[in-house]
Structure 1
Amino acid sequence: MKVLPLFSLVALCLILGYSCAEKEAKKPQKPNFLFIMSDDHAYQAISAYSDHLIQTPNIDRLAKEGMLFRNASVTNSICAPSRATILTGKHTHINGKIDNHNPFDTTQVTFPQIFQKAGYQTAMFGKLHFGNNPKGVDDFMILPGQGHYINPDFITQKGDTTITGYVTDIITDMSLEWLDKKRDSDKPFFLMYLHKAPHRPWWPRADKFKEYTQKTFPLPETLFDDYSNRGTAAKTAEMNLLYHMQYSHDSKIFPETLEAMGGVEPLVEGSQADVYNEFNRGNEEQRNEYKPILDSINLDFKEKWPKLTDKEKMIWKYQRYMQDYLGSISSVDDNVGRVLDYLDNNGLAENTIVVYTSDQGFYLGEHGWFDKRFIYDESFKTPLLIRWPNEIKPGTTEEEMVQNLDFAQTFLEAAQISAPTDMQGESLMPLLKGDGAKWNREAVYYHYYEYPSVHMVKRHYGIVTKEYKLAHFYYDVDEWELYDRKKDPKEMNNVYDDPAYAEIVKELKGKLAELRVKYKDSKELDDKYIEQSKKY
């Protein structure tokens, strides 16, 4: 037997060791995912989109270091249906969650289940909004339903619990604790970090409440829209700041203030005692922080309201709305910064895809409204920012039409996991990789169902391209609306009956019919869900 000299053995080991190390270094790593979603966060309230209302430096980091989508949208602008679409990669008429009342089809496979099966460690913290036992997650703590801002309750695998503090901070604490202490460093992870804020009734943390009640915000150009060039749906929706935003629940006016004033005009229907729903959840220390601010708001209201014109009352309500809504967002931005800093400081940022989005858009006084639901831009469009180091070119802006329908397939392709063939979205990978030539979508499909219900936005479906938006309002009306998105970006003028747009109407109706076939939607399904909704 031939024996190698000692130096030859050492050299061989070094060579083999180097070869193995080199091979290991070249072995592709599965990316981690941090999916951040807030609730009702309007793109207008992210300074990367527009800085006229608020600065959001931490969320903006994702735009500076990644990609910002300017034409991201939802398939159905309401909370639970949007989340069901994200989880399944299917339109709501397929997954069953057409509104906040009809049940989700629990036989549907969600993308976290697929990630879990593929070896990812999965976790969910915050607001899911439907179901108490999310599928495909190894660890979770979720709010029951809408949840609370102050001392919130949580559903966990070990039972329900109440945690003292402010909900945005708590959800972040949970997520950071999981990353730091519960995560298996030998596995890639998919963490869903889901904020309740800034959902109605918009309760900022006490320090933000104090800060933001001192601020004044610019008025939207369309605040006093009279809907004269729109159809029945816009004229009859119940989301006007003056006539439908509740004094107590929304503007934080105590019932005893209203009683002492002998009633106020205009009369707004709904519970006026809801201001105490959050306030009374606080302990004595927390209530003492909020009380002086609430007192100052109530004093201002009592002194000013009887002397104001309707226009001035609208402005007063708008400012109160923005103070609370934007104060809530300020805490979201602070906490997003905490999590991004953790990734940076623990060597995770380079191999983690970070997504920031919301479950839909939201009206911040545009057209005189709050809430969402419509196919109109402020509701239909949603913020979407994605950072993927070494893959997405920093500071990129993308104008293509994308939807929350696309998220599941995008995540699966990025993780090199095969997507189920019945998912209905399109992977955003060509756009993320800068290969837009491979993206061929010209239009997206939208369908809203929750009517008659809160805010009374009529049922409608439609098609949206970069240039136009065609919508059909149905059920108790049969009306069509067409908007020229280039010439009329604020969507003030319905040009459906304008002869100059006759050919556009014909073309878009044909494409809309094709999309309804493509996505397996139909008049028969419309009728089915109308009947089904009568049960709820």
Structure 2
Amino acid sequence: MMKQNTWIFLAFTIALVSCTGKKSREGNSSLPNVLFIIIDDMNVDINCYGGPIKSPNIDRLAESGIQFNHAYVQQPVCAASRASFLTGLRPNTTGVDYPYSYYFLEEVMPRHGTVSRFFANNGYDVRHFGKVHHGIEDENPTFQPSIKGSYYTEEINESVRKGGPKPPFEKTLEGDSVFADFKIADSVAWAIQSISDSSRPFFYVAGFHKPHLVFASPEKYQYDWEHNDPLVPFSDEYARFIRHAYYASSSFVDAQVGLVLDALKESGLEEETIVLFVSDHGFLLGEHNYWGKTNLYEKGLQVPLIVSWKNHVEPGLETKALVEAVDIFPSLADLAGLGVPQYLEGTSFKPVLENPDTPWKKGAVSQQPRGLIADREGISIRTARYRYTEWINTFSGEIIARELFDYEQDPTESVNLALNRENAELLKALSAQLNTGWKSMLPEGITNESDNPVAPPSYAWGPEGVSRRAAWHLAFGGSEDEGWRKSTERRNEWRDSLK
């Protein structure tokens, strides 16, 4: 059993029990536990997806369940993606771009809440560990380890405070225990191992920070990647070094996932626990000369998604079914036997767990605004073969540009087929599919009865939204003192004046 850490007492009061032998619960014993693992900024370069990153613990999770090879987020940035899959609503309904919006916090959250609240209302012991939401905490008990600065090396923090450069990577000589993600993993592990026979079913969300910038990890994870790096011939030494730092940071967080999985196994609760692993979005590492997220390329939108449930989900499976992160909430509700709320805009992928080859969605829809006032936005559909994207002027609705990639012929998205006239009919067909909406892409025989209002444009909340609010009022007039509703009216009036 892991030793108890003093951090736990700051967040939870947990009863100590013996962890030997298989446990069973009284009361709601028919309800499965849920362990929901969220990783920040991890792309599909991990080993089980065919990538160069050493990820033995995520690999063994995939081996114990089903790996989704075509899972996509609805918007490739932390706040918007998390708002979407935590609520089971799409970005046009949450009203979140970056960061969270006032509308989301004052209208959507009180009305619907999140998957965590849903499970709490169904009798679950719900706890959040680490980064779950982006920038807020909610009504669930949350463990947040203290972080002394952006870097683990105090000399770098001091230099940054004095206006020095902010390196995108960091290698420390200290071990895992100084990192926030270790403390998060240790806290989750202790909570799992402390469950008593009479405990309610649990819904634990473990939100890890890495490999999000800064790409930091202990030295032991930063080994020689030279022969494993698929982009070595195309990048200079510095870019390669940054990429390797990202790989090392990913290997580090993989080890923390391993601590949690080990605790679950030692607790004897594997057979009673659904484990769902996902990243909040992908991340480009120099592809298309782009570093980061907020893009509509495959590697920015595709995420690792794994579901494991011992003796319930057949181990070692993979599926090509198109699924979306917005499907996570309804899928967990369905698997737990709790019923799927009608307002949700995702689709339970439980049938895919039962038959990985079952015909599924015709497309996955994603979007990404551009600019501080979101005057442009890309709307993208991923089908089994193509990705088609329309970039539009959000005020006039005019299509500014189109992108079309054929993954059978061009898996690296090097040729934009939308520029070729001979593809006019294909463009027309994909545009019609995209603009018919996500409900038209559901599997045969499955419908969605949600009827949620369209959110207003995202008026950014909190400290991270300062620059966006300033740009908003510079463009549309008024001031923050008017509140988000009046500020939204000003934008709409300005838009209408252009017609």
Normalised to the residue count of structure 1, the TM-score between the two structures is: 0.68
Structure 2 residue identity aligned to 1:110: T
In the TM superposition, what whole-angstrom CA distance separates every residue of 1:392-423 from its partner, at most 9, and x where no partner exists? 21111100110100000000011111222111
Deviation at 1:451, TM superposition (A): 2.1
Q: 1: CA distance between counterparts of 2:208 and 2:148?
A: 11
- Is 1:511 the counterpart of 2:425 in the alignment? no
Structure 2 residue identity aligned to 1:150: Y
Q: Is the 8 A contact 1:37 1:356 kept in 2?
A: yes
Q: 1: CA distance between counterparts of 2:382 and 2:433?
A: 10
Specify the alignment match of 1:141 in structure 2: 143
Deviates more, 1:396-405 or 1:98-107: 98-107
- Is 1:343 the counterpart of 2:261 in the alignment? no
Normalised to the residue count of structure 2, the TM-score between the two structures is: 0.73
- Is 1:411 the counterpart of 2:358 in the alignment? no
Q: 2: CA distance between counterparts of 1:328 and 1:355?
A: 21
Deviation at 1:54, TM superposition (A): 2.3
Structure 1 residue identity aligned to 2:53: I
Q: Is the 8 A contact 1:146 1:196 kept in 2?
A: no
- Is 1:42 the counterpart of 2:47 in the alignment? no
Paired residue for 2:380, among 456, 459, 462? 462
Specify the alignment match of 2:122 in structure 1: 118
Structure 2 residue identity aligned to 1:123: R
Q: Is the 8 A contact 2:379 2:389 kept in 1?
A: yes
Deviation at 1:151, TM superposition (A): 9.6
Deviation at 1:322, TM superposition (A): 2.3
Q: 1: CA distance between counterparts of 2:334 and 2:197?
A: 22
User: What fraction of aligned residue pairs are identical, expressed as a percent?
Assistant: 27
Number of aligned residues: 401
- Is 1:380 the counterpart of 2:301 in the alignment? yes
Deviation at 1:535, TM superposition (A): 3.0
What are the equivalent positions in structure 2 for 1:13-92 lying under 5 Å apart? 29-44=30-45, 46-51=46-51, 53-92=52-91
**CA separation of 1:145/1:172 partners in 2, compared to 1, >3 Å: closer, same or farther?**
closer
Q: Is the 8 A contact 1:70 1:397 kept in 2?
A: yes
Deviation at 1:102, TM superposition (A): 3.1
Q: 1: CA distance between counterparts of 2:400 and 2:306?
A: 37
Structure 1 residue identity aligned to 2:342: T
Q: Is the 8 A contact 1:430 1:436 kept in 2?
A: no
Q: 2: CA distance between counterparts of 1:352 and 1:516?
A: 31
Q: Is the 8 A contact 1:72 1:401 kept in 2?
A: yes
What are the equivalent positions in structure 2 for 1:200-215 lying under 5 Å apart? 200-208=213-221, 211-212=222-223, 214-215=224-225
Matched residue SS, 1:94: helix
**CA separation of 1:59/1:77 partners in 2, compared to 1, >3 Å: closer, same or farther?**
same
Specify the alignment match of 1:396 in structure 2: 317
Specify the alignment match of 2:99 in structure 1: 100
Structure 2 residue identity aligned to 1:356: F
Q: 1: CA distance between counterparts of 2:457 and 2:129?
A: 34
**CA separation of 1:316/1:466 partners in 2, compared to 1, >3 Å: closer, same or farther?**
same
Paired residue for 1:132, among 136, 156, 168? 136
5+ long unaligned stretches in structure 2 = 1-24, 155-175, 441-447, 461-467, 474-499
- Is 1:216 the counterpart of 2:226 in the alignment? yes
Q: Is the 8 A contact 1:86 1:405 kept in 2?
A: yes
Specify the alignment match of 2:407 in structure 1: 485
- Is 1:535 the counterpart of 2:472 in the alignment? yes
What are the equivalent positions in structure 2 for 1:228-247 lying under 5 Å apart? none
Specify the alignment match of 2:170 in structure 1: none
**CA separation of 1:205/1:219 partners in 2, compared to 1, >3 Å: closer, same or farther?**
closer
In the TM superposition, what whole-angstrom CA distance separates every residue of 1:93-144 from its partner, at most 9, and x where no partner exists? 2112222253433323211111011111111101134343324x2x211369
Deviation at 1:385, TM superposition (A): 1.2
Q: Is the 8 A contact 1:89 1:424 kept in 2?
A: yes
**CA separation of 1:336/1:130 partners in 2, compared to 1, >3 Å: closer, same or farther?**
closer
Q: 2: CA distance between counterparts of 1:496 and 1:181?
A: 57
Q: 2: CA distance between counterparts of 1:179 and 1:426?
A: 29
Q: Which structure is higher in strand share?
A: 2
Structure 2 residue identity aligned to 1:337: G
In the TM superposition, what whole-angstrom CA distance separates every residue of 1:268-319 from its partner, at most 9, and x where no partner exists? xxxxxxxxxxxxxxxxxxxxxxxxxxxxxxxxxxxxxxxxxxxxxx522222
**CA separation of 1:186/1:391 partners in 2, compared to 1, >3 Å: closer, same or farther?**
same
**CA separation of 1:101/1:346 partners in 2, compared to 1, >3 Å: closer, same or farther?**
closer
Q: 2: CA distance between counterparts of 1:466 and 1:397?
A: 15
What are the equivalent positions in structure 2 for 1:115-514 lying under 5 Å apart? 115-135=119-139, 137=140, 139-142=141-144, 148=150, 150=152, 165-181=178-194, 185-208=198-221, 211-212=222-223, 214-216=224-226, 218-221=228-231, 314-434=235-355, 436-437=357-358, 439-452=359-372, 459-475=377-393, 478-514=400-436
Deviation at 1:57, TM superposition (A): 1.0
Matched residue SS, 2:217: coil
**CA separation of 1:131/1:468 partners in 2, compared to 1, >3 Å: closer, same or farther?**
same
Q: 2: CA distance between counterparts of 1:412 and 1:187?
A: 16
Structure 2 residue identity aligned to 1:488: D
Q: 2: CA distance between counterparts of 1:504 and 1:94?
A: 29
In the TM superposition, what whole-angstrom CA distance separates every residue of 1:4-63 from its partner, at most 9, and x where no partner exists? xxxxxxxxxxxxxxxxxxxx99x972111111111111111x100114x22211100111
Deviation at 1:205, TM superposition (A): 2.4
Matched residue SS, 2:393: coil
Deviation at 1:72, TM superposition (A): 0.5
Q: 2: CA distance between counterparts of 1:435 and 1:411?
A: 17
Matched residue SS, 2:423: helix
Q: Is the 8 A contact 2:364 2:438 kept in 1?
A: no
Deviation at 1:501, TM superposition (A): 2.0
Q: 1: CA distance between counterparts of 2:384 and 2:55?
A: 27
Q: Is the 8 A contact 1:148 1:167 kept in 2?
A: no
Structure 1 residue identity aligned to 2:143: M
Q: Is the 8 A contact 1:130 1:145 kept in 2?
A: no
Deviation at 1:365, TM superposition (A): 2.6
In the TM superposition, what whole-angstrom CA distance separates every residue of 1:304-363 from its partner, at most 9, and x where no partner exists? xxxxxxxxxx52222221232122112211121121111111211112111111001111
